[in-house]
């Protein structure tokens, strides 16, 4: 999608610190990290958000989670991380290209705010 921030990051039109990439997804450091590890994992396909995802996107959704687990393993933060989809503006979703937050490397409180 031409006017989408994350599509532009995936296309290399806006710089970002890339963490991982494969055929389905692109992962990069959040510009405003909320934890020592704060990586955004986004599908290369432009999906607006979780509630807009279709049954055919199920494999992509699973792949984002497994990619988060892989990065968590690589960073040795497996004792303390969380994966989050913010859904809708009331939850804090501000970019309308689906993205999974991987937050970790510090103690995480529960429930989240």
**Nearest position to Zn ion, beta carbon:** 4
28 binds ligand 5GP (CB under 6 A): yes
By three-state DSSP, how is residue 75 classified? Answer: coil
Interface with ligand 5GP (CB under 6 A), residue total 13
Residues 6+ apart with CB under 8 A from 73: none
The secondary structure of residue 8, as a DSSP letter, is H
CA distances from residue 43 to 25, 60, 63, 67 in whole angstroms, order as listed:
4, 7, 9, 11
Q: How far is the CB of 107 from ligand 5GP (least distance, A)?
A: 20
31 binds ligand 5GP (CB under 6 A): yes
Return the ∠ at Cα 34 (arms to 8 and 24), rounded to 5°: 35
The footprint of ligand 5GP on residues 44-73 (CB under 6 A) is: none
The site for Zn ion (CB under 5 A) is made up of 1, 4, 6-7, 46, 97
The site for ligand 5GP (CB under 6 A) is made up of 5, 16, 28-32, 40, 86, 92-95
């Amino acid at each position: 999608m031409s006017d989408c921030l994350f599509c532009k990051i995936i296309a290399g039109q806006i710089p970002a610190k890339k963490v991982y990439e494969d055929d389905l997804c692109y992962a990069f450091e959040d510009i405003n990290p909320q934890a020592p590890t704060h990586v955004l994992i986004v599908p290369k396909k432009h999906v607006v958000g979780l509630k807009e995802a279709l049954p055919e996107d199920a494999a992509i959704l699973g792949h984002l989670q497994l990619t988060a687990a892989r990065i968590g393993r690589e960073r040795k933060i497996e004792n303390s991380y969380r994966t989050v989809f913010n859904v809708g503006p009331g939850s804090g979703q501000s970019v309308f290209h689906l993205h999974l937050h991987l937050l970790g490397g510090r103690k995480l409180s529960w429930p989240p705010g």
